[in-house]
Amino acid sequence: MAMLFSDIGKETKKLLGDGMGTDKKFTFSKTAMSGLDFESETVDAGSLETTGSFKLTDPTGMDVTYKYTKTDSGPGYSFKSTFKLDKLAQIPDTKVTLEGDNKNSVNGSVEYKGPAAAVTLGGGKYKGSTQFPFSVGLAPVTGVAVGISGTVKPDFKKEQLYENATVGYHQKGVFSACLLLTKNLSKVEARAIYKGLDSARVGLKVADALGSRSATLGGEYTVDSDTKVKAVVADNGSNLKGGVEKTLGPGCKLTVGYAVGVADIATVSKHKCGFVLEVE
């Protein structure tokens, strides 16, 4: 099965980035009844942001999510509807998504994901600007994934057709690696993850590999079925990050994140800690 462009190398990115944030976040989700889900999220990142949403799902292959967000800069409203065409129109491996918000964004996209190719074609207004984003992921041979993405605009230029490109290789249960080319193929990022260790995963990212290289190395260890521990050394060793994910009970998970600059280890006030509490 081909991978979407956005999924190539995503596992390494999540390993080295997620679960170590120093914001304070609380999320709550609840299924009220079949086809109706509620979710709320409160984040303190120096300023307070509160989000509430509900999702309606129809077994015929349609769903719609309405979301309200309140921040210091004002309220935000958005919706997202998904139509699964394999159920609605007997068109396999295809879905249509429509989205909009109160910031002058209205757009739609068609996504196809099959054995040899995964394609996303979009179009609409994004914060008032007309754009047509697209991405293509291909699986030419087993274990190899290649992809390209771009954003076509009214003032068309050929460079819009290859803003980003990637090539990756994965061996299930052992390792995966990819090269991501951005800024019209002028900037290169390398990512890799190794999963052949018992209860552990190790990841490496090298940003701007052809310029001022910045390496990030980290790993995650599964202590038991309820606990995971993560440690990351970022930005060529100048920053340390860590995280602990703990399942407190059925439907309740706590993640504690930590970060400090190596130069600031002796300064207690520079040590940052945050958490995410998820209840469902």
pLDDT tens-digit map of 220-279: 999 999 999 999 999 999 999 999 999 999 999 999 999 999 999 999 999 999 999 999
Match 């041979």 to its residue by tokens. Answer: 141
Write the pLDDT tens digit of every residue in 123-172: 999 988 999 999 999 999 999 999 999 999 999 999 999 999 999 999 99
The amino acid at residue 24 is: K
Model pLDDT, residue 88: 94
Cross-strand bridge partners of residue 212:
none
Report CA torsion sign: 33, 34, 38, 39. Answer: positive
Over the stretch 21-76, which tens digit does the pLDDT of each residue have? 999 999 999 999 999 999 999 999 989 999 999 999 999 999 999 999 998 888 99
Share of the chain above pLDDT 90, in %: 96
pLDDT at 151: 97
Beta partners for 165? 148, 181
What is the spatial distance between Cα 60 and Cα 34, in angstroms, rounded to a whole number? 13
Predicted TM-score (pTM) above 0.85: yes
At 72-110, the pLDDT tens digits run: 888 999 999 999 999 999 999 999 999 999 989 999 999
Instruction: Give the CA dihedral 140, 145, 146, 152, nearest 10 degrees.
Output: 110
Please give the radius of gyration of the chain, using alpha carbons only, rounded to the nearest integer. Answer: 21
The CATH number of domain 5-279 is 2.40.160.10: yes
- What average pLDDT score do residues 181-185 get? 95
Q: How far apart are CA 116 and CA 137, in angstroms?
A: 8
pLDDT of 72 reads 84
Q: pLDDT at residue 1 above 90?
A: no
Residue 128: per-residue pLDDT: 86
Rounded Cα–Cα distance for residues 245 and 276 (Å): 9
Domain coordinates in residue numbering, the chain:
5-279
Half-sphere exposure of 215 (CA within 13 A, CB side): 7
Q: Give just the sign of the alpha carbon dihedral 142, 146, 152, 156.
A: negative
The percentage of residues in the chain with a pLDDT greater than 70, rounded to a whole number, is: 100
Q: Which amino acid is at 237?
A: G
Contact (CB, 8 A) for 100 and 115: no
Question: DSSP letter at 2?
Answer: P
